Amino acid sequence: MPDLPEVGVPAMRSDAAEPLYLDYAASAPPADEVVEAMLPWLRGQHANPHAEHWHGARAWRAIEDARESVAMLLGGDPEGVIFTSGATEANNLALKGLLGSSRSHIWLSGIEHKSLLEPARSLAEHGVGVTMLGVDVLGRIEASAMRAQLLSPNSAPGLVAIGHGNNEIGTIQDVATLAKVAHEHGHLLHVDASQTAGHWPLSASSDELDLVCLSSHKMYGPAGIGALYIDPILLPQLRPMIQGGGQQHGVRSGTIPPFLAVGFGAAAALAERAALKHRQHLQAMAAAFLAQLDAQGLVYSLLGDPVNRIPGHLSLHIPGVAADEVLARLLPHVSASTGAACASGELRASHALRALGLDESQARQVIRFSFGRSSRLQEAGEAAACLLEAIQRIHALERP
Ligand code: PMP
């Protein structure tokens, strides 16, 4: 990499009040509209939505409006929206709630989020068959390869579970085609849309998806809530994981928190309204960031599908520099991540990067930058400059 020119590249952001936040794939702060919608429900309006009195009924109506907004975003029927604590619970409910006596096999790929892989692993300990689907070099599950793998040993009906947008490498799967393949074999398709909701078109009804899950804090809603969508026709097949007062068709007992549901609903409505605008903005940020790296001749490769990828999501393999060293140098200036945030702190390289075919040392050279709706073009430039400078300093230290 050539030395950075003295002029035109901003120095590290030593005077900034706080680092730039470029980890929206890990969590996105609630939008202003979301906070506004939540406030009355954090104050006097709060009541138990399952209570039979006037205040309870008002809270219930607010929750039902939120359910409708979430259903609209997903192209589904409000009847099938089950509020959960987040996507981890929703993925667990999808797998553990459907697998058992009549469905006894799961297909999923090694690049999936741990909230799919771990329940699959524990179901395998209880006799459920698990088959790992192959992915190509861009992390795509190819329809014909999946078709060949779906012939389960005992051809019992099962469940295929797939992340729509991969949180680590950004690749978006063609879930409409994969749903057709799953259905040809009599299996259901569950799609984890935590990373794509509101940023990439998806419709449970037109894409014929049987189940979809969402995470509110990935789509500018409050943390602590998410949803599992299930085609209402399949509701009787879903066994509860959390039992109690029988709320939400008895499949997810517990009092629904009105302030969280209302915030999630507001985030869904906002996402639905401004999806295209947000997508274009995020893509422009990522393009500006990469253009600056290219202009400075940085050697890197963008992991995942370069076209069908989560808008604003960049997973960069930078050969020759350890990602944790780069992140440490970026720490005062930019908040980014190595692989998945959930996996950070683990000593092992990310399971998803390894499943993509990277060796241990390559997987440790991957940094994820993810832009958000409030990221500005100037910040993309500043972040790229910080990255270039961090790498240059690491190389300079290595020189004898
Ligand atoms: N699935 C994917 C694809 C994710 O990125 C995440 C969050 N890292 C989850 C599931 C878990 O979401 P939550 O934090 O809502 O449990």
| Residues lower than pLDDT 70 in the chain | 1-15, 152-155, 339-347, 400
> What is the distance between the alpha carbons of residues 268 and 272, in angstroms, rounded to a whole number?
6
- With a 6 Å cutoff on the Cβ, whether 85 touches ligand 1 is no
Which residue in 86, 124, 134 sits closest to 104, CA to CA? 124
Determine the residue of 23, 113, 171 to mutate for testing ligand 1's pocket, defined as the one with the most ligand atoms within 8 A of the Cβ atom: 113
Helix axes 377-398, 258-295, angle to 10 degrees: 60
Q: What is the pLDDT at residue 7? A: 32
Q: What is the pLDDT at residue 4? A: 40
Catalytic site residue from 4, 275, 341, 342: 342
Q: Does an H or E element contain 7, and which?
A: none
Q: Indicate the residue type of 259.
A: F
The set of residues, in sequence order, having a beta carbon less than 8 Å from that of 2 and lying 6+ positions away, is 296, 297
- With a 6 Å cutoff on the Cβ, whether 171 touches ligand 1 is no
DSSP 22-72: -BTTT--PPPHHHHHHHHHHHTTT---TTSSSHHHHHHHHHHHHHHHHHHH
Strands (E), 125-206: 129-133, 159-163, 188-192
DSSP, collapsed to helix, strand or coil, labels residue 302 as strand
- With a 6 Å cutoff on the Cβ, whether 113 touches ligand 1 is yes
DSSP, collapsed to helix, strand or coil, labels residue 150 as coil
- With a 6 Å cutoff on the Cβ, whether 167 touches ligand 1 is yes
Q: Does an H or E element contain 370, and which?
A: strand 366-370
Determine the residue of 27, 84, 218 to mutate for testing ligand 1's pocket, defined as the one with the most ligand atoms within 8 A of the Cβ atom: 218
> What is the distance between the alpha carbons of residues 93 and 346, in angstroms, rounded to a whole number?
26
